[in-house]
Amino acid sequence: MDSLRIRRPDDMHLHLRDGAMLRAVLPATARVFGRALVMPNLVPPVALPREAAEYRDRIYAALGPGTGFRPLMTLYLTEETRPADLQAAHEARLVTAVKLYPAGATTNSASGVRDMDRVRPALETMARVGLPLCVHGEVTDPDVDIFDREARFIEEVLDPLRRAVPGLRVVMEHVTTKDAVDYVSGQRDMGATVTPQHLMLDRNAMLVGGVRPHYYCLPILKRREHREALRAFAASGDPRLFLGTDSAPHPTGAKEAACGCAGCFSAPVALGCYAQVFDEMGALGHLEAFASENGAAFYRLPPNEGTVLLERTEAARIPPPLEVDGDTVTVFDPGRAPGWQVKETA
């Protein structure tokens, strides 16, 4: 098979940022994806319905006319979030999900949750009205090794939370471990996203022969056996798993620094990277469900109209850095040609 036409996909985990960065990175996503679940970790966070509406309007303004792209908005859960606001934002169809960041877990998570008991009423309201919770699944205890933080989160936070609030639909975002795969598979009311980098790379790629800051993201790349578990899970066609790039642009200067920040800007090459992985796994037949159906079904949205045509190619090139505000944003490069690229959209 040298080309593959699939229904237009959705990116169910995307960072668009704001201002000049938003304008620079948005076209790469809007060209390929029908919709994207837009993460709320701006500074300050998108925590109130009014802020989500204003952010949505800024995204539409940056998009300009003539694209069919639609941002799906999220709210940032804080210990001050009012359950009534969540219900109203859900009923007005303003937001598609609510995002839980454990305080301090990742980029721009300082306003996140410290004490899960304080958000229990919000979670109960969400379960009642059918508003999903997306989680950044890492504990933040400084005594827990960074490579163990996802597994510990499942045990100590995620499973207790799901037992305490039955019926709450939860997406474990950017899964990185076999532990997450083992937990998610077989559960009801659960979804999971996985990024291109966690399917393609392990921690050796980041650390052997020199430190590669453009591979540094959170949760951090793990050892190979975890990557293999993620690839097998994707190749299995499990309907719980769907496409969420976690494309997370940062200025090149902020990544190539003594204290570089976390996030890979993968949007321009993401769909080709996923296709490459499914191809390597002999599972291209499951790519369309992963990219274009499972996420929409989880969020109870109709699938997109339209299609994208992917072609197998030796000539796929990683695009040059984008220029933003006197700096650049470096595009994720998995270190081998993605092997597939988007030829056209219809």
Ligand X SMILES: NC(=O)N[C@@H](CC(=O)O)C(=O)O
346 is in an annotated binding site: no
Residue 41's binding partner, choosing from ligand X, Zn ion, none, with beta-carbon cut-off 5 to 8 A by kind?
Answer: ligand X
Site for Zn ion in 211-250 (CB under 5 A): 246
Residue 32: what are its φ and ψ, rounded to 5°?
A: -110, -40
Residue position matching structure tokens 């090139």: 317
Return all residues near 259 (Cβ < 8 A) that are at least 6 apart.
Answer: none
Site for Zn ion in 129-148 (CB under 5 A): 136
Task: Give which of 123, 120, 124, 232 is closest to 175, Cα–Cα.
Answer: 232
Smaller CB distance to Zn ion: residue 124 or 156? 156
250 is in an annotated binding site: yes
291 is in an annotated binding site: no
**Residue 286 contacts ligand X per CB under 6 A:** no
Under 8 Å between Cβ of 98 and 131: yes
Residue 217's binding partner, choosing from ligand X, Zn ion, none, with beta-carbon cut-off 5 to 8 A by kind?
Answer: ligand X
Q: Residue 343's CB: how many other CB atoms inside 10 A?
A: 14
Task: Give which of 266, 339, 301 is closest to 8, Cα–Cα.
Answer: 301
Would you state the structure tokens that stand for residue 228, as one six-digit string?
């293999």
**Residue 218 contacts ligand X per CB under 6 A:** yes
**Residue 85 contacts ligand X per CB under 6 A:** no
Binding-site string for ligand X from residue 14 to residue 43, where x marks contact by CB under 6 A and - marks none:
-x-------------------------x--
Task: Give which of 274, 6, 59 is closest to 51, Cα–Cα.
Answer: 59
Return all residues near 66 (Cβ < 8 A) that are at least 6 apart.
Answer: none
246 is catalytic: yes
- Quick one: which of 7, 56, 136, 255 contacts ligand X (CB under 6 A)? 136
Site for ligand X in 92-131 (CB under 6 A): 106-108
Give the burial class of 188: count Cβ atoms within 10 A of its Cβ; 0-12 exposed, 13-18 middle, 19 or more buried: exposed
H or E element that contains 318: none
Angle (deg, nearest 10), helices 19-32 and 49-63? 70
Binding region for Zn ion (CB under 5 A) out of 59-67, 103-111, 178-186, 316-324 = 103-111
Least distance CB 101 / ligand X (angstroms): 7
Instruction: Output the known binding site for Zn(2+).
Output: 13, 15, 99, 136, 174, 246
Catalytic residues: 246
Residues that bind ligand X (CB under 6 A): 15, 41, 106-108, 136, 217-218, 246, 248, 262-263
Residues that bind Zn ion (CB under 5 A): 106, 136, 246
Instruction: Output the known binding site for substrate.
Output: 15-17, 41, 136, 218, 250, 262
